[in-house]
Structure 1
Amino acid sequence: MSSPAEFQLASPPSDGISSVTFAPAGSLNTDMLLASCWDSTLRLYNAATNTLLANFAHASAVLDSTFGPEGRVCYSGAVDGSLSSCDITTGAQSTLGGHAQGIRCVKFDPATGLVVTGSWDESVKLWDARTARCVSTHQQSAKVFAMACTSDSKLIVGTADRHILIWDLRKMESVLQRRESSLKFQTRCIQPFSNGHGYVLGSIEGRIAVEYIDPSPAVQQKKYAFKCHRVPINGVNTIYPVNSISFHPLYNTFASGGGDGIVSIWDGLNKRRICQLRPYPTSIASLAFNHDGSLLAIASSYTFEEGEKDMPNDAIFIRRITDADVQPK
């Protein structure tokens, strides 16, 4: 059940939710929310009015999506490797191209006008949003499992071999940095600091790492990792994956969602948890703050940490955020 501080979106997906993302600042309607789904749909909601605006059908499961320039177009990547564009104002859909295997991540960088796709075929492709054409392909060290763009056009890629590759989208001739994750287990999610100076990693083993991009030893000494999303069950500490991380746009604090159905909000700079939200019906598959941090979208959708079993229906909750929830203390 939802609390007075939140509500559940009507017309939820009929199968697993892979990602949720709000329209960025400067969009035609910043209350728009995209939900990519395993039921082969990309759903567009107005979170403020709790309305399903559009339901874009795809040929296969949709793994990620993002808004393009001014929130007029959205882009989605599917398990069949196709990259699609959907015009929000006209409803027109088209396939721009794709990868040899599933597209796991889709991001848009407004500074360069590039749509970036990361795939299980071990490559990243850059697409010009104006011409809808692929402009370059860049080999990665293994399958792309997570990806993020920073505010200064850095691209951070997390691969299946636990490597972190940092690129500059304006100069893709060679990788800027190649690192091994400080977490011992598979990378599940990456999100950049609001100020672009670093990023946070989440792993399948209930840990989060706070990392910095500046390679100087003085800055690298600040990085650290901590345990989270662990629940004592019958005296045994059960560990759940960190499925999603989202940064608050004003305070540079961040929310994490895990397979335990818990959302926690952290002050990474001061190394403390600010609060923990009420338990949700099942795994937190994805999280997203809106453009001003007043809303948090929470996708409650089982992510199969415990194999096949009966679970509650998929749901997207919209939580109204107060300063007490996210402001460093």
Structure 2
Amino acid sequence: MHSDHNNIDDNGYEPNRMSDEGSPMLMSPWNQSSPGSTTSPEDGLIGSMVREEGHVYSLAATRGLLYTGSDSKNIHVWKNMKLFTTFKSNSGLVKAVIISGDKIFTGHQDGKVRVWKSNSKDSRVYKRIGTFPTLFDILKSSMKSKNYVEVKRHHTTLWIKHCDAVSCLAIDEEEGLLYTGSWDKTFKVWKISNSKCLESVKAHDDAVNSIVSSLDGLVITGSAEGSVKVWKREGRGKNMKHRYMQTLLDQECVVTALVVSKSGSIVYCGSSDGIVNFWEELSHGGVIKGHKLAVLCVAVGGNLVFSGSADKTICVWRRVGSIHTCLSVLTGHVGPVKCVAVEKDAESSDKWVVYSGSLDKSVKVWRVSE
């Protein structure tokens, strides 16, 4: 830990959270009696969902449905803060969930990605409609020796297969591509329409923890080795290659989370030292300091940035230009906040619904105003 945190009170609350520019923070009133206290009376914690099935590692929200992946092999679907349905995977903890149209993609500990779709007649029934890589492609690929790559000394595997957990997923909707990052230090590129692996990129010297797809064919990866790298997609189909473009960050601390703003121009990166770095148009914009332990997840909604941490809190930051001001601190989790997702509030245009999953086995739902 590099930053000094001598003036933290019992709540783990720093009176002078600052952004890099040194502007004094406009802190929300801290109200000890209400754990989800924020600036507006109807904001804050609106619900908590608990299934005693282990840590919540991943979540994704769309159109009022929330999908959560946990220690168990099940993916739970929540609606109005109640368990709506569950679909079961045969193997592999669910490390990552992403939604594209009517499909749900889940990344697993066993190195596979599974694809799910709900039944058009009964929305509570989800069916697995695919696995990346397909069994057929594995068999076909295994016939040729050129398809094997060395992963450890004297140990080879097929290049189309991740040989360790799939830790993160990203989708390029326009190109119909799925990106998978893995603890095996690679990211792979898949054509969604036929489940084919188009490319495998040896991206880092340690686990890939986060991957985002941005505009103009850019892909950004963050790794446990402490670096953030930018890759540019060139060509299409069989000729597609992701070329290394630049390194945005190279540090000792583990990179845990990446997110890109809707416009694609701002990239946020959380790391194990509790700091969030950000870049505008790929040039460093500054750092946001608000946590005393590792940042584990980051999400963006409008001009708000949400950082979830091992310190059990979620900081809500409002961005004006390149200055980030801490609006509020969402407290209530009793374990590290592992994943966070944000959706526009259906009832109010200037509010966001924030979902946070924690290693305390719960998912909490918060309402936050801009």
Cα displacement (A) at 1:184: 3.7
1:258-297 counterparts in 2 under 5 A?
Answer: 258-268=309-319, 269-291=322-344, 294-297=352-355
Specify the SS of the correspondent of 2:243.
Answer: coil
RMSD: 2.4
Cα displacement (A) at 1:170: 5.4
Kept in 1, the 8 Å contact 2:227–2:250? The answer is no
The match for 1:166 is: 230
The match for 2:366 is: 319
Specify the SS of the correspondent of 1:191.
Answer: strand
Kept in 2, the 8 Å contact 1:56–1:86? The answer is no
The answer on 1:116 being equivalent to 2:179 is: yes
Alpha-carbon distance in 1 for matches of 2:118, 2:233: 26
Sequence identity percentage: 15
Q: Which structure's CA Rg is the greater one?
A: 2
The match for 1:233 is: none
Among 271, 279, 292, the residue aligned to 1:211:
279
Among 52, 63, 78, the residue aligned to 2:108:
78
Moved more, 6-15 or 158-167: 6-15
Kept in 1, the 8 Å contact 2:189–2:198? The answer is yes
Higher relative contact order (CA 8 A, sep 6+): 2
CA separation of 1:13/1:288 partners in 2, compared to 1, >3 Å: closer, same or farther?
Answer: farther
Cα displacement (A) at 1:256: 0.5
Kept in 2, the 8 Å contact 1:9–1:51? The answer is no
Cα displacement (A) at 1:158: 0.8
Specify the SS of the correspondent of 1:280.
Answer: coil
The match for 1:224 is: 286
Specify the SS of the correspondent of 2:276.
Answer: strand
Instruction: Return the letter of the residue paired with 2:103.
Output: V
The match for 1:128 is: 191
1:33-182 counterparts in 2 under 5 A?
Answer: 33-46=66-79, 48=80, 50-68=82-100, 70=101, 72-89=102-119, 91-93=126-128, 94-97=130-133, 98-142=161-205, 143-169=207-233, 171=235, 173-179=241-247, 181=249
Among 172, 179, 199, the residue aligned to 2:267:
199
Kept in 1, the 8 Å contact 2:228–2:250? The answer is no
Among 179, 182, 189, the residue aligned to 2:257:
189
The match for 1:301 is: 359
CA separation of 1:205/1:129 partners in 2, compared to 1, >3 Å: closer, same or farther?
Answer: same
Alpha-carbon distance in 2 for matches of 1:149, 1:38: 27
Aligned residues: 286
Specify the SS of the correspondent of 2:311.
Answer: coil
Instruction: Return the letter of the residue paired with 1:108.
Output: I
Alpha-carbon distance in 1 for matches of 2:309, 2:81: 28
Moved more, 8-17 or 128-137: 8-17
Deviations 1:220-261 (A, max 9, x none): 3x521243212xxxxxxxxx110111001x22x201011111
Instruction: Return the letter of the residue paired with 1:150.
Output: S
